[in-house]
């Protein structure tokens, strides 16, 4: 495609995304459906440019007023994912000079807000938690997330799948913490692989795999994934149960559960029972009260641990939306806890990095429910032979109480998890 045409299309897409009417990934997908003329290379340029703009929005907002043309075009130029020579062939002389001037700006000359590109309401809580580590997190959030796969432990072995991928010219490395994970070099077309088609692998961040591992579901148990969504963790849990027992996948969104069906068919699991519920107090929940061995509550959250993948979330969330989420999280956790039988385990998790959604929820629940005994996440992970498990945990006595994952420390999305055993 001609550089000028590609830049124009990129500017159009940037404009649509910056309206923030819908999640960025949905806007990008819809744009590609409406414009079938773009090949894989053009799509990569369009998508990566958009995500760069979202990651560096405050900086680009600062630089763009000095340029010419529409704001969307200026933002697209600043974030353009591709060779500089290719980009410049689409620019006029004025734009070229402006771009050179922007490229010459040194990070040390910028205000802090233009370096971290985060809303101020988010900066304070992150600095309070990380101290000097804040800027390491900022640097990691400016980069795309790696591509992690989970090997289906029911049907395949990680080493064999790794060798199979190598034959297809796909480099991978075993993830350092999850026993099921492979980290892929680049972004290959996975859906065309036999390993994907037959259910040997699923795309899943290593941190998400660790949440399923922490539940430690056993053969023959009754287990509930309370907020299953599209079922990534459900499938991992089902594999650990060796396709025995009964695994309920509950969610209030039937649409999201529909996305589980083709994945479930590939997985070869027959012990999974998806069910849409009206709310956390649904009659289905009441009927199972006190009967379940293990319950995972991967609660609806701000998603701020996934900013490498979803950088638009930092502009679409707010203090008010987080406050509303904490009310929902508290209610969901309390309702899910009723399912757990005596001697059973409850795990609460989010993909957020905010204490309000994590430690505060867990501590309030523990105080209100003395029959649930907290279990150190580090102890559980050590029992599951996860190497370096203490480095994955924080909080409580000895800093071992909660699973606390960070992109800059663990190369995963930001995750939190707390575990209890019921008396």
Residues serving a catalytic function are 351
Buried/exposed code over 95-104 (b: 16+ C-beta within 10 A; e: otherwise):
beebbeebee
Buried/exposed code over 192-224 (b: 16+ C-beta within 10 A; e: otherwise):
ebebbeebbbbebbbbbbbbbbbbbbeeebbbb
Strand pairing report for 201-203 and 292-298: unpaired
Nearest to 296 by CA among 228, 353, 358: 228
33 vs 336: CA distance, rounded Å: 39
Q: Identify the burial level of 41 via C-beta atoms within 10 angstroms of its C-beta, where 0-12 means exposed, 13-18 middle and 19 or more buried.
A: exposed
Buried/exposed code over 296-318 (b: 16+ C-beta within 10 A; e: otherwise):
bbbbbbbbbbbbbbbbbbbbebe
370 vs 373: CA distance, rounded Å: 7
The tokens describing 208, both together, are: 């998400």
26 vs 210: CA distance, rounded Å: 27
Helix (H) / strand (E) containing 45: helix 40-55
Within 228-318, residue ranges assigned H as helices are 232-240, 254-258, 260-267, 283-287, 313-316
109 vs 252: CA distance, rounded Å: 48
375 vs 372: CA distance, rounded Å: 9
314 vs 118: CA distance, rounded Å: 7
Describe the strand order of the beta sheet including 172-174 as a list of residue ranges.
172-174, 181-184, 147-151, 201-203
134 vs 353: CA distance, rounded Å: 12
| Residue with the two structure tokens 């980069």 | 143
CB 161 within 8 A of CB 175: no
CB 28 within 8 A of CB 50: yes
φ, ψ at 110 (rounded to 5°):
-95, 155
């Amino acid at each position: 495609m001609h550089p000028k045409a590609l830049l124009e299309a990129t500017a159009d897409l940037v404009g649509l995304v910056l309206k923030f009417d819908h999640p960025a990934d949905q806007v990008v997908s819809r744009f590609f459906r409406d414009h079938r003329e773009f090949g894989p290379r053009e799509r990569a340029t369009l998508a990566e440019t958009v995500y760069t703009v979202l990651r560096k929005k405050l900086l680009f907002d600062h630089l763009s007023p000095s340029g010419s043309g529409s704001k969307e075009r200026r933002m697209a130029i600043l974030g353009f994912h591709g060779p500089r020579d290719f980009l410049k062939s689409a620019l006029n002389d004025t734009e070229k000079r402006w771009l050179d001037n922007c490229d010459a700006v040194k990070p040390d000359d910028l205000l802090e807000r233009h370096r971290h590109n985060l809303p101020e309401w988010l900066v304070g809580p992150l600095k309070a938690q990380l101290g000097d580590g804040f800027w390491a997190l900022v640097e990691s959030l400016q980069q795309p997330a790696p591509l992690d796969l989970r090997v289906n432990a029911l049907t395949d072995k990680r080493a064999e799948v790794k060798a199979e991928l190598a034959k297809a010219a796909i480099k991978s490395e075993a993830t350092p913490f999850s026993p099921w994970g492979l980290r892929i070099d680049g972004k290959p077309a996975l859906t065309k692989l036999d390993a994907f088609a037959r259910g040997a692998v699923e795309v899943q961040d290593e941190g998400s795999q660790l949440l399923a591992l922490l539940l430690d579901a056993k053969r023959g148990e009754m287990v509930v994934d309370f907020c299953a969504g599209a079922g990534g963790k459900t499938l991992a849990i089902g594999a650990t149960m060796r396709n025995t027992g009964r695994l309920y996948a509950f969610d209030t969104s039937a649409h999201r559960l529909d996305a589980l069906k083709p994945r479930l068919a590939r997985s070869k699991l027959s012990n999974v029972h998806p069910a849409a519920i009206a709310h956390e107090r649904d009659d289905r929940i009441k009927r199972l009260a006190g009967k379940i061995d293990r319950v995972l509550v991967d609660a609806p959250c701000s998603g701020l641990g996934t900013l490498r993948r979803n950088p638009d979330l930092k502009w679409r969330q707010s203090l008010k939306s987080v406050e509303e989420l904490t009310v929902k999280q508290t209610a969901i956790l309390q309702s899910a806890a009723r399912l757990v039988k005596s001697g059973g385990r409850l795990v609460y998790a989010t993909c957020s990095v905010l204490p309000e959604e994590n430690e505060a929820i867990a501590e309030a629940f523990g105080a209100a429910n003395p029959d649930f005994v907290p279990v150190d996440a580090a102890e559980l992970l050590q029992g599951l032979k996860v190497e370096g498990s203490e480095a994955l945990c924080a909080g409580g006595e000895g800093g071992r109480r909660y699973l606390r994952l960070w992109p800059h420390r663990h190369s995963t999305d930001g995750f939190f998890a707390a575990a209890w055993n019921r008396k």
